Structure 1
Amino acid sequence: MKRVVVGLSGGVDSSVAAYLLKEQGYDVIGLFMKNWHDDSVTISNECPWLEDSNDALLVAEKLGIPFQTIDLSEQYQEKIVDYMFKEYENGRTPNPDVLCNREIKFDVFMKIALSLGADYVATGHYCRKDTIMVDGKEVHQLLAGKDDNKDQSYFLCQLSQEQLAKALFPIGELTKPEVREIATKMELVTAEKKDSQGLCFIGKVRLPEFLQQKLQPKEGIIVEIKETNEIYHNPKPRFENLESELAYEAQNKDYTNSNGIVKGKHQGAHYFTNGQRRGLNVGGTKEGLFVIQTDVENNIIYVGEGPNHPGLFKNTLFIKAEEVHWIREDLQLAPGEKMEVMARIRYRQPLQKATLHQFESGMYVHFENPQSAITEGQFVAWYHDDELQGSGVIS
């Protein structure tokens, strides 16, 4: 019997994952990760770890599997929370869920599981894994979940071949309603439980308050850039080569407060992100104002009116060479090579046609259609059919 450690989160997905593995004859152990202590910044009791760990324990008892809670809050603080603060401080918007999978669930947690004699680690993610042979070597594929509405492959876009080799995703072939049906049939306490939302393991967090713990408020100005501004109508220069053309398309616009209108004040540019609409507290425009760029150095937020404002759109983004990550290492591009893919820049975004262009300095992802609110610090992931092949941090 192969041994599997399941990350039981106290939700319905991981509960059903544990049940299915037990049915398949695995020796299953349930582990609950406690990753957060500070309840002062979570909204209401949306994700209280106590209730979740209790539900996880009840599921384990019902399934007749051993269960324990492990405290990873120190590692979580260091690898996820501190990283988030640093990124926000630098004006980038991190994705804690992607990092949490790479650094916590499939690293720290996986090492603990393997020390308990586990052959695999399983989670309740809606995605699938397949293994193929390439040049006589096993290569693991990360595939989208069968439920289009719930596919979570994007959150695992930073996993490595070593991590995938030890991973199992038991519910990847199922839809959410099917998962709930199994839980109801098995009378699991989590059958009707709502999906948790918010930061991975922290729950629904008041982000400004969470950030204010480390990042001090700092009053600055909100500047509106009109869509008629000449910055959007400058003729495109001539380029020596493709790389310099892509670099031009990927760069941020050079806004200054002299080419806009001061609309109000904010409490810190580091609290805002591209495409954000809420929290600006500025009225007097026909359509809502959207953040089109943040300047953390000068503490200025640039905004534009309406969701179709030209300042929101770009068709090219850049990933630094050291931040390009291939799950399928055998498909890696050499400098000068390109590849047509389908890509997304955020979870649940419909896949978009794009071309990867690899250079010594890094990779440009050029989209067929301009994309709204490309955000530094977030991840772009690229696919071929339903296989996620690689990803990178947007620079």
Structure 2
Amino acid sequence: MKRVIIGLSGGVDSSVAAYLLKEQGYEVIGLFMKNWHDDSVTISNECPWLDDSNDAMLVAEKLGIPFQTVDLSEQYKERIVDYMFHEYKKGRTPNPDVLCNREIKFDVFMNIALELGADYVATGHYCRKGTIQNEGQETYQLLAGVDGNKDQSYFLCQLSQKQLAKSLFPIGELTKPEVREIAAKLDLVTAEKKDSQGLCFIGKVKLPDFLQQQLKPKEGIIVEIPKEQEIYNYVKTEFESEEDKLRYLSRKVDYKIDQGKIVGKHQGAHYFTKGQRKGLGVGGTVEPLFVIDTNVNENVIYAGQGKEHPGLLKRALFITNEELHWVREDLTLKVDETMQVQARIRYRQQLENATLYKVDSGLYIEFENFQSAIAEGQFAAWYLNKELIGSGVIS
């Protein structure tokens, strides 16, 4: 009997995943990860991790599997929270969920599980694992979940072959309604429980409140850049090389205060991200205002009216070699090689046709269509058919 340690989060997905593993004949052990101690930054006075760990324990009791809690808050603070503060300080927008999977669930947690004699680690993610023979060796595939509405492969885009080898995703073949139905039939306490919102495992966190712990509020100005600004009128069409063209398409516009008008104030440019609409507190515009850029050094937010503002739209992005990751190492591109893929720049975004171009310093992704609010610090992930093969941090 192979031993599987499952991360029981106190939600319906991991509860049903644990049940399915037991049905498949595995020896299943439930482990709850406690990743946070500081209750001062959750939205309400409820204590989410306590409720969640209780629910996880009740599910384990009902399924008749051993259960324990592991405290990973020290590693979580070091690897996730400190990284987030560092990124926001630089004016980038990190994705804590992707990092939590790479650094905590499939690294720290996985190592604990293997020390406890586990053959595999399982989670309640909506994705699938495939295995193919590649020159006599097993290569693991990270496949999209069957439920297109819930597919969570994007959140696992930084996993390695070594991590995938030891991973199981029991609910990847199911849809969310099917998962809830199984939980209801089993009369699990989590059957009707709402999906968790907020940072991976911290609970319902208000991001500005959370960031204010380390990044102090500092008043600055909001500058509205009109669509007609002449920086958008000049379109370069002649290029010396393909790389020259891609550099141009992925360039960052260097905005200046005198290119627009001051329309409001804010409490810190590092609390805002490109494409954000809420929280600007500026009314009286014909179309809603969106953040088109932030300058954290000068503490200025640049905004533009409407979803189609040229400051929001771009056709290409760049990823440095240091932040480039191939799930399928065998498909890694060499310099000057290209690949037709489908890609996304955020979770739940429809996959878009794109071309990868490998250059000396990293990788360009050129999209067929304009993309809105490509944010530095977020992850871009690319797919062949339903398989996620690589990802990287947008530079």
Supply the distance in 1 between the matched residues of 2:74 and 2:235 (Cα, whole angstroms): 52
Show the counterpart of 1:225.
225
Partner SS state of residue 129, structure 1: strand
How far off is 1:235 after superposition?
3.4
User: Residue type matched to 1:70 in 2?
Assistant: V
Partner SS state of residue 325, structure 1: strand
Partner SS state of residue 347, structure 2: coil
How far off is 1:41 after superposition?
1.2
How far off is 1:238 after superposition?
2.9
- Which moves more between the two structures, 199-208 or 109-118? 199-208
The aligned runs of 1:77-226 (5 Å cut-off) are 77-226=77-226
Supply the distance in 2 between the matched residues of 1:238 and 1:45 (Cα, whole angstroms): 59
Partner SS state of residue 33, structure 1: strand
In 2, are the aligned partners of 1:47 and 1:196 still within 8 Å (CA)?
A: no
Show the counterpart of 1:248.
248
User: Residue type matched to 1:312 in 2?
Assistant: L
User: Residue type matched to 1:148 in 2?
Assistant: G
How far off is 1:16 after superposition?
0.5
In 2, are the aligned partners of 1:47 and 1:204 still within 8 Å (CA)?
A: no
Partner SS state of residue 310, structure 1: coil
Supply the distance in 1 between the matched residues of 2:125 and 2:46 (Cα, whole angstroms): 20
Following TM superposition, where does structure 1 have runs of at least 4 consecutive aligned residues deviating by more than 4 angstroms? Answer: none
Number of residues of Structure 1 aligned to a counterpart in Structure 2: 395
The aligned runs of 1:9-48 (5 Å cut-off) are 9-44=9-44, 48=48
Supply the distance in 1 between the matched residues of 2:26 and 2:140 (Cα, whole angstroms): 21
In 1, are the aligned partners of 2:39 and 2:47 still within 8 Å (CA)?
A: no
Show the counterpart of 1:327.
327
Partner SS state of residue 349, structure 1: coil
How far off is 1:219 after superposition?
1.3
How far off is 1:237 after superposition?
5.7
Deviations 1:119-163 (CA, angstroms, capped at 9, x unpaired): 000000000001001111110000000001110000000000000
User: Residue type matched to 1:232 in 2?
Assistant: Y
In 2, are the aligned partners of 1:46 and 1:204 still within 8 Å (CA)?
A: no
In 2, are the aligned partners of 1:119 and 1:166 still within 8 Å (CA)?
A: yes
Supply the distance in 2 between the matched residues of 1:235 and 1:248 (Cα, whole angstroms): 10
How far off is 1:254 after superposition?
1.7
Q: Which runs of 5+ in 1 are unaligned?
A: none
Supply the distance in 2 between the matched residues of 1:148 and 1:303 (Cα, whole angstroms): 33
How far off is 1:185 after superposition?
1.0
1:318 corresponds to 2:318: yes
Supply the distance in 1 between the matched residues of 2:384 and 2:339 (Cα, whole angstroms): 10
In 2, are the aligned partners of 1:47 and 1:202 still within 8 Å (CA)?
A: no
Q: Which runs of 5+ in 2 are unaligned?
A: none
The aligned runs of 1:358-377 (5 Å cut-off) are 358-377=358-377
How far off is 1:47 after superposition?
6.4
TM-score for the superposition, normalised by structure 2: 0.99
Partner SS state of residue 245, structure 2: helix
Partner SS state of residue 234, structure 1: coil
How far off is 1:45 after superposition?
5.2
1:260 corresponds to 2:274: no
Show the counterpart of 1:55.
55
